[in-house]
Amino acid sequence: MDFNVKRLAADAGTFLSRAVQFTEEKLGQAEKTELDAHLEKLLIRAESTKQWTEKIMKQTEVLLQPNPNVRLEEFVYEKLEKKVPTRMNNHELLGQSMIESGNEFGPGTAYGNALIKCGETEKQIGGAEREFIQSAAINFLTPFRNFLEGDFKTILAEQELKMTQSEFDRQAEITRLLLEGVSSTHAHHLRCLNDFVEAETTYYAQCYHYMVDLQKQLGSFPTSFSNNNQSSVSGGASISVPTIPMSASLPSVSAGRSSSSASVGFSELRSSNGSRKARVLYDYDAGNSSELSLLADEVIVVSSVPGMDSDWLMGERGSQKGKVPITYLELLN
């Protein structure tokens, strides 16, 4: 995510000073007037903008940091002008625990390797969350806070100034110009809102990419796990690994006679060097140009190629040809 700090600095205009200068130059030519209905409407609009800006800021801060104790701590550090200590977020903590447990169980085991890969993905998601929070704070919350602590306080100060009769003409004109500038504030806040939505979209796109990549990695693991996992499954039962609804889905793990017969069928296919028809069980997105993308329930022709990994076969669909994982296939008679 890119943080356009220079643009933010450019957007912080000198509207107030120009308004004051213009008003003082024209004050001698202006006729004294009473507060009109248009100015009253601008005052109501400014107050409404202030209230909604505060609500949006508060809810955004809750979204970025749900823990109220942490928000209070960050507020204290901000008031003391001290740097907030860096802490790991929930995704990073989960990823660290998965990696440590995976190393404990052994990276060479299927479960240990899967834990390590899941942990690395969770840490990547944690990094994306950290970038999203930083982007939202700079591009969204900071301009809103600048409006509340800058322009709106100036508007309030000018409102109080109108109570002094001798300064009425000057303050009324300045207040009018400032309040009319609320429209430009809305436009600026709209740009900031677009930046916030873009940052959040990038965050969820990164999460989607990381999880799809993780599913592909887990999908390439062999279907036979450790003996203690197999012994806990009854003869006719099957266990399906839960998936999220993406184009790449994890294959289900079958136990008992169906798994055994499928293994025998693939072994016979490799030994015969022939070809057979197979039904695709799940959608599969090719990881590179040497692989073939699959759609669930379609029928393709598969064959064994000398030297190919035992978890893969060569698949053909018309003129298309590429490697396919056997865990996504069911051989047909």
pLDDT in tens, 122-176: 999 999 998 998 899 889 988 998 988 888 888 877 777 666 666 777 777 888 8
Q: What b/e sequence results for 240-276 when a residue is b if at least 16 CB atoms lie within 10 Å of its CB, and e otherwise?
A: eeebeeeebbbbebbbeeebeebeebbeebbeeeeeb
Report whether pLDDT(38) > 90.
no
Answer whether residue 114 shows pLDDT above 70.
yes
Which band of pLDDT confidence, cut at 50, 70 and 90, is reported for residue 7?
low
Comparison of pLDDT for 196 and 247, the residue scoring more? 196
Which of these ranges, 157-166, 197-206, 231-240, has the smallest mean pLDDT? 231-240
Q: Mean of the pLDDT values across residues 249-277?
A: 64
Specify the pLDDT at position 72.
75
Q: Which residue has the higher pLDDT, 199 or 254?
A: 199
Res. 203 pLDDT band, cuts 50 70 90 = very high
The larger pLDDT score, comparing residue 321 to residue 12, is at 321
pLDDT of 239 strictly over 70: no
Rounded Cα gap, residues 147 and 189, in angstroms: 9
* Segments making up each domain of the chain, as ranges: 5-218, 238-331
Tokens 């035992």 locate to 310
Name the average pLDDT for the chain. Answer: 78
Q: What is the model's pLDDT at position 19?
A: 53
pLDDT value of residue 35: 54
Pairing of strands 312-317, 299-303: antiparallel
Instruction: For the domain covering 238-331, report its CATH number.
Output: 2.30.30.40
Higher pLDDT, residue 42 or 52: 52
Question: Rounded to an integer, what distance in angstroms lies between the CA atom of residue 316 and that of residue 292?
Answer: 8
Query: Using 50, 70 and 90 to split pLDDT, how confident is the model at 32?
Result: very low
**Tokens in use for 33?**
């007037």
Q: Domain 5-218 belongs to what topology?
A: Substrate Binding Domain Of Dnak; Chain:A; Domain 2 (1.20.1270)
Provide the pLDDT for residue 26.
57
Distance of CA 162 to the CA centre of its chain: 48
The pLDDT assigned to 248 comes to: 41
Mean pLDDT score, 294-300: 93
